[in-house]
Amino acid sequence: MKIAVIGTGYVGLVTGTCFAESGHQVTCVDKDPRKIEILESGRLPIYEPGLDELVKRNARDGRLAFTTRVADAVPGAEVIFIAVGTPPGEDGSADLSYVLAAAEEIGRALTGYAVVVNKSTVPVGSADRVTAVIASVTSEPFDVASNPEFLKEGAAVEDFMKPDRVVVGTPSERARAVMGELYGPFVRVEQPILFMDTRSAELTKYAANAMLATRISFMNDVAALCERMGADVDAVRRGMGSDKRIGFPFLFPGVGYGGSCFPKDVRALLSMGRAAGLDFDLLRAVERVNEKQKQVLLQKAQRHFGSLAGKRFAVWGLAFKPRTDDMREAPSISLIEGLTGAGATVAAHDPVASETARQVLGPHVEITPDAWAAAKGADALFLVTEWSEFRMPDLDRLKATLRQPVLFDGRNIWDAGRMRAAGFTYYGIGRGKS
């Protein structure tokens, strides 16, 4: 098939590249000429493991092209994905201005029947609005489908190529047939394509992310209770997760969730609920717990040191999760702002997100080239993002590098007993009183 993808952000670039990898002819569009220049030079504007190799190979083999003009990509395309940003407004609702602007350009460039697919995370009813915009500028036949993405940053290529399910909202049998053919190669080992109406597909994305965020916040509150009761959250988590009705995913306590999806989607679902006259009490609590959890390491440090003024602290891990350079709503930001606001200095390291962090955190935070440089002379080390390279540090070297052997483990990746036996003062999340 000939496919156009409008938007070369995280979702758009992964979508276009993976379809090209499966043999389709794909043109990706972005209004930012700098992004297109970067892509055409064989580089990527984002970090995602394995994606750079796929982009280079498919561009070299002529299956993947880039342009700044919608009019160059849409004519003759059988499927057109809208994958532009939907930033949250002040009330948490998603801003559809970029989606609707893309829809109008698509409508003006149509030359025949196509399925226009909302890949962006959009509120319920967006397919209807996109349909109205396109219909207002073209007499060509088309359908608008909803196909929300469920990609995990750091594993997006694998998630796309081997999905656990594909959700498609379609208004017609013709569109259903096109989307079924398009995704057929990706579900050959019996993962389902779940066809439904467009409004249900749109809501599925928000509901899924809100459920995962709820599990995280619930477990963080359980961890807080464990500390007050002298229990071990790791043991509690194992006991809970062994129940097949519950399972283990997203039951790990930590310093809160961040990124581009969970915070935005929880707020958007709250906004949709308010607009529908529903007071979503559960999700308001989920959001409140998450914001509180981002302060938990700072509070532990304040209890340990008293005044933080004049102290030097090291932070390992800045991205909101491993295997990405995404700093959007990362818990590290809240921690570092709290430390520096209390008069401390901070040196930080992340294996991938250093350049992004410099832009987000500003010049008053030292971003070091390696983890040991960050730890040198620090009064304590904060582990915020659980990169694999942080899991088994040389403890003798770490103790000699730090000014004081104090560890704040925001992801419970270190063995508390081992750390304490090695002479460290160790604080985890929900591991007894700390």
Just list the catalytic residues.
261
In what helix (H) or strand (E) does residue 401 lie, and over which residues does it extend? Answer: helix 395-401
In what helix (H) or strand (E) does residue 407 lie, and over which residues does it extend? Answer: strand 406-409
User: Any idea what DSSP says for residue 152?
Assistant: P
- Give dist(CA 124, CA 206) in Å, integer: 9
Three-state secondary structure string covering 158-197: HHHHCCCCEEEECCCHHHHHHHHHHHHHHHCCCCCEEEEC
Q: List, edge to edge, every strand of the sheet that includes 406-409.
A: 366-367, 345-349, 312-316, 380-383, 406-409, 425-427
- Give dist(CA 333, CA 352) in Å, integer: 16
Question: Which tokens go with 337?
Answer: 């702002």
Q: Where are the beta strands (DSSP E) in 90-232?
A: 114-118, 142-146, 166-169, 193-196
Helix (H, G, I), strand (E, B) or coil at 367: strand
